[in-house]
Amino acid sequence: MAAKTRTPPDPLTVEVVELFGTVVARYHEEYELAAAEHALTGAQARVLTLLAQEPAPMRQVARRLKCEPSNITGIVDRLETRGLVERRADPADRRVKVAAATDEGRDTAARLRGGLDFAGEPLAELTPLERTLLRDLLRRMLGGGEGEPTGGAEAGPAGSTGSAGVGDGGGA
């Protein structure tokens, strides 16, 4: 059986992919800096931001961030020690524990998001129609239809890079 040959991408596709890479790298860099301003690692900030949206079992957080549940356990332990996250029984199934952001955790997550300027200025140069089109195209690329949230975008860069950068490093 002959191996299937791939057609090389056209120059426009190559350029778009390279631009995506640049955007992702810049976003990760700024996200790490913003996290450090709150004495968080990037991984802790991503978990906290996700949990500030809604409480979730740690396995679900691990799936969303594409990492091992044991990594999330250590991250939640450190966030819990700082009073940013708490574990509690899931109201739908008391046998299941969920991690949830505390009031302080939600406030920290909001300040963290507010400190991310990277895309603010370039996006402000686009009209509302252009921003809507960009959002809808990105959602479509990620498998969600127009107007359908794909999840994870608000949580920072975690969904875009697989497991890269999700290890906690044991920081505060």
In the chain, domain spans:
33-116, 118-157
**Predicted model pTM:** 0.70
CATH fold, domain 33-116, is Arc Repressor Mutant, subunit A (1.10.10)
**Minimal CA–CA distance to 34: which of 17, 53, 13, 49?**
49
Instruction: Return averaged pLDDT per consecutive 10 residues of the chain, 172 residues in all.
Output: 79 93 88 93 95 95 92 96 96 91 97 81 87 94 63 41 43 44
Placement of tokens 């697989």 in the chain: 162
Q: Tokens 């450190």 appear where?
A: 78
Strand partners, 97: 89
Helix residue spans in the chain (DSSP H): 11-37, 42-53, 58-65, 69-81, 103-114, 120-124, 128-141
pLDDT tens readout for residues 94-118: 898 999 999 999 999 999 988 887 7
Instruction: Give the tens place of pLDDT for each residue, 45-70.
Output: 999 999 999 999 999 999 999 999 89
